[in-house]
């Protein structure tokens, strides 16, 4: 199966050695391991808050700017 196909098949062969969670891809397991290690390599440029994933950091940074990735269908 392709990497993305594992998401739909439910196959999760990558198991965390520290807890019972398992993941479809190695990259998801690596990001998960950051939680156990206390690693937060992605930092908010505004306040310095740390995140395990860059996508979560970007989401957080929008709270400082008020920017929204969504547009209202009524008011734009």
CA atoms within 13 A on the CB side of 69: 6
Q: Give the containing element (helix H, strand E) for 43.
A: strand 42-43
Q: For all residues of the chain together, what is the average pLDDT?
A: 89
Residue ranges, comma separated, of all CATH 3.30.160.60 domains in the chain are 3-37
Q: Which CATH class is domain 3-37?
A: alpha beta
Q: How is domain 39-69 classified at the CATH fold level? A: Double Stranded RNA Binding Domain (3.30.160)
- Integer Cα distance of 41 and 65 in angstroms: 21
Which burial class, exposed, middle or buried, applies to 31 when counting CB atoms under 10 A from its CB (0-12, 13-18, 19+)?
middle
Predicted confidence (pLDDT) per residue in 42-73, tens digit: 999 999 999 999 999 999 999 998 888 777 77
Looking at the whole model, is its pTM more than 0.85?
no
- Integer Cα distance of 30 and 50 in angstroms: 17
């Amino acid at each position: 199966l392709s990497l993305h196909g594992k998401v739909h098949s439910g196959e999760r062969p990558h198991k965390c050695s520290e807890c019972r969670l398992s993941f479809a891809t190695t990259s998801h397991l690596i990001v998960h391991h950051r939680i156990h290690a206390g690693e937060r390599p992605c930092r908010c440029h505004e306040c310095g808050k740390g995140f395990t994933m860059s996508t979560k950091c970007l989401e957080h940074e929008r709270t400082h700017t008020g920017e929204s990735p969504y547009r209202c269908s009524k008011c734009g």
